[in-house]
Amino acid sequence: MAGVVSALRANALHETEMDAAPSTAPAFVEFSDVCKSYDGETLAVAHVDLAIGKGEFVTLLGPSGSGKTTSLMMLAGFEAPTSGDIVLAGRSVSRIPPHKRNIGMVFQNYALFPHMTVAENIGFPLSVRGVGRETVRQKVDRALALVRLSGLGHRRPTELSGGQQQRVAVARAVVFEPDLVLMDEPLGALDKQLREQLQLEIKRIHSDLGVTIVYVTHDQSEALTLSDRIAVFNGGGIRQIGTPMEIYERPLNSFVAQFIGESNRLDGRVISRNGDRCRVQIGADATIEARAVAIGDVGCSTSVTIRPEHVVINPPPGGWDNVLTGLIETIIYHGDHARAQLRVADSQVFTVKISDPRNASALKTGETVQAAWRASDSRALDPDPAAGAAP
């Protein structure tokens, strides 16, 4: 088993070196082997290594309980690491109390001070730093303009909508020109439309101010939209770090492949291996070819993942590495596209995205069709997402 794991690691490293451009920015924030335990038995955060460059927008993405918020809280100073070290701007933060870290923070529930006006809220970090009244006023006005709330400074937070309240919280977190801004699921309480609008605003503020942002979310599309790089968390550790495109196009393990976007998973067994390609037996009499990303030796089980948009139904013959016969179970019309759900290779479920939904009208439920894709679009990964979760 140890052999298998090391083989998986070796493969993962191999691909990382090949595909991911190494980050050239010097580390501004650095987690070194950080662990956090609340009960002394299990690790809420397990051996996290993470380097963030100055001016970078890094998202910690993961399901709830994956350790992403705990990591953020350790960076903010509200939790202390059980072991390991966090370095901020060249200094270990373990001795710096949270109020001296010069970090702006935005919370999911806004955390505005209800007894102060909007302007007083935004001016708070300045006034506790002893900034003069007139300077405070100017900076608050500029921050209000930045989040497009000019003229609302005299209002109380409760008189604003949720989206406006979160803009105030963002303005308050950046008004004192902090080295680092932390955002803990800031858009979680907003509806979809507002969320997308504010995502754009946050991205704009990031590029306007050039500030370093560490952003926590469980919403993968938000992470893809906003980030320079994404760190995917699961089970207390980072499963993969990379640009949104790397994470989406080249997942290194089944967890990342399943968590980010939609993936078809075909479980099978490696029957041969040739360089970066391998052949996998799925079901009784079907084999497919895939990129060998994170697999063991011949005979080991594996999960092959294929994005639904890379599969073609009833393709023109020739040129396809993999063709499987499947039975159409359902066809769902989504407006701008359609989805067909097939049963292939001993009744494994398989989804195909049909980009032009008008083509779907030719298909009928219960019909037998051919599903085809290129080997380079499919990736043979570790067999079980749970195995990917192990540190």
Partner 1 sequence: MPAAPSAPLGGRQLKQRLRRIQRRQALRAFALLAPLMLFLAVNFLLPITLMFVRSVDDPDVRRVLPRTLAAISNWDGLALPSNEAGAALLADLGAVENREDLSRAANRLNYDINGFRSLIFRTARSAGRIDATHAMDALGALDQRWKDIETWGAVKRAAGPTTSFYLLGALDMKKNAGGEIHRVGSERAVFTLVLARTLWISLWVTLLCLLLGYPVAYLLATIPSNVANILMILVLLPFWTSLLVRTTAWVVLLQTDGPVNGALRWVGLIDQPLQLIFNRVGVYIAITHVLLPFMVLPLYSVMKSLGPTTMRAAISLGAHPFTAFLRVYVPQTMPGVFAGTLLVFISAIGYYITPALIGGADDQMLSYFIAFYTNETTNWGLAGALGVVLLMMTAVLYLIYSRLAGGAGPRWA
Torsion angles phi and psi, residue 146, rounded to 5: -60, -40
Residue 61 near residue 230 (C-beta atoms within 8 A): yes
Is residue 160 within 8 Å of 139, Cβ to Cβ? no
CB atoms within 10 A of CB 367: 14
Residues 57, 124, 215, 350: which binds partner 1 (CB under 8 A)? Answer: 124
Closest separation between CB of residue 39 and partner 1, Å? 14
> What does 137-205 look like in DSSP terms, one character per residue?
HHHHHHHHHHTT-TT-TTS-GGGS-HHHHHHHHHHHHHTT--SEEEEESTTTTS-HHHHHHHHHHHHHH
Q: How far apart are CA 118 and CA 153, in angstroms?
A: 5
Per CB under 8 A, does 189 bind partner 1? Answer: no
> Quick one: which of 107, 137, 258, 329 contacts partner 1 (CB under 8 A)?
107
Alpha helices, DSSP H, located in the chain: 2-19, 68-76, 118-127, 133-146, 162-174, 192-209, 220-226, 244-249, 254-259, 385-389
Span from 13-21, 97-105, 274-282, 379-387 in contact with partner 1 (CB under 8 A) = 97-105
Nearer to partner 1, 113 or 333 (CB): 113
Give residues 313-372 in contact with partner 1 (rule: CB under 8 A): none
Out of 16, 37, 102, 221, the only residue in the binding site for partner 1 (CB under 8 A) is 102
Helix (H) or strand (E) holding 36: strand 27-36
Q: Within 13 Å, how many C-alpha atoms sit on residue 155's CB side?
A: 14
Site for partner 1 in 138-177 (CB under 8 A): 169, 172-173, 176
Q: Measured from the CB of residue 131, what is the shortest distance to partner 1 in angstroms? A: 10
Pairwise CA distance, residues 269 & 230, whole Å: 31
122 versus 324: smaller Cβ distance to partner 1: 122
CB closer to partner 1, 168 vs 223:
168
Give min distance, CB of 105 to partner 1, in A: 4
- CB count within 10 Å of CB 26 equals 10
Based on CB atoms, which residue is closest to partner 1, 36 or 291? Answer: 36
Task: Record the tokens describing residue 149, joined without a space.
Answer: 């709330």
The site that binds partner 1 (CB under 8 A) totals a number of residues, namely 28
Binding mask 31-70 for partner 1 (x = CB under 8 A): ----------------------------------------
Region 125-144 residues binding partner 1, contact defined as CB under 8 A: 125, 128-129
Shortest separation between residue 96's beta carbon and partner 1, angstroms: 12
CB atoms within 10 A of CB 284: 7
Q: Is 111 in the site for partner 1 (CB under 8 A)?
A: yes
Residues that bind partner 1 in the complex, under the rule CB under 8 A: 76-78, 97-105, 107, 109, 111-115, 124-125, 128-129, 169, 172-173, 176, 182
